[in-house]
Amino acid sequence: MKKRTIFIFCFSILLVSIFIAIYSLMNRRNLPIYTPRDVNPELVDSTVQHIGYNHKIAPFSFTNQNGKTITNKDYEGKIYVADFFFTTCQTICPKMTTNMVWLQDKIKDNPKVKLLSHTVFPDEDTVEVLKEYAKAKGVLDVKWNLVTGNQKEIYKIARQSYLVVKTGKPEELYDMVHTENFVLVDQKGRIRGFYNGTLLNETKKGEKNMNQLLEDIEFLATQE
């Protein structure tokens, strides 16, 4: 009788473990593909709000912390995380940068994954400023590009491609308020998730944190 009880207990534990594993795998396999129609309209340029299919990050060309031109070709076939910041920000940016450094450490040995941070104050955040910032934060040049460039192009790609920033009235289109969002982009240039870059282990209703971002990156890395 005792052996039977132990067997039933062990078998029950096994079934629960299998159920949890399958449930987790199913959830990860359902990682969505986001389009402008799926996102808060406040974060999306009006010219693309109607798009609900085949949305991809548009071609881009910016300059990184080493004065090198970085284009979408440098990220072709890669999984990458993009965000928007500025070096003198004293509100959400320090926490976002700290968490991006944390993520860099986690993916530094994975050749499939890269990082991309766009300054929203390109006039102030010159190549020289970005270089000093990169040195201070321990940015690995082979993994993480901090880019500057034409202000209108940066703001355009933020609202038309990454879908992550707010503006006020139409005439304030280039007076952008960046958010804490980190954007996960897959190997085909599609958005697969939005994450609160200020949250590492903490949770906030309706938002994913950095640990969930890492899990989703690892999942995408298994996909071809």
DSSP assignment of the chain equals -HHHHHHHHHHHHHHHHHHHHHHHHHHHHT---B-GGGS-GGGS-TTTTT--SS--PPP-EEE-TTS-EEEGGGGTT-EEEEEEE-TT--SSHHHHHHHHHHHHHHHTT-TTEEEEEEES-TTTS-HHHHHHHHHHHT--TTTEEEEB--HHHHHHHIIIII--EE--SGGGTTS-EE-SEEEEE-TTS-EEEEEETT-SS--BTTBB-HHHHHHHHHHHTT--
For 78-121, the pLDDT digits (tens) are 999 999 999 999 999 999 999 999 999 999 999 999 999 999 99
For 132-150, the pLDDT digits (tens) are 999 999 999 999 999 999 9
For 33-92, the pLDDT digits (tens) are 999 999 999 889 889 999 999 999 999 999 999 999 999 999 999 999 999 999 999 999
Q: What is the pTM of this model?
A: 0.84
CATH superfamily of 33-220: Glutaredoxin (3.40.30.10)
Is the pLDDT at 21 greater than 50, yes or no? no
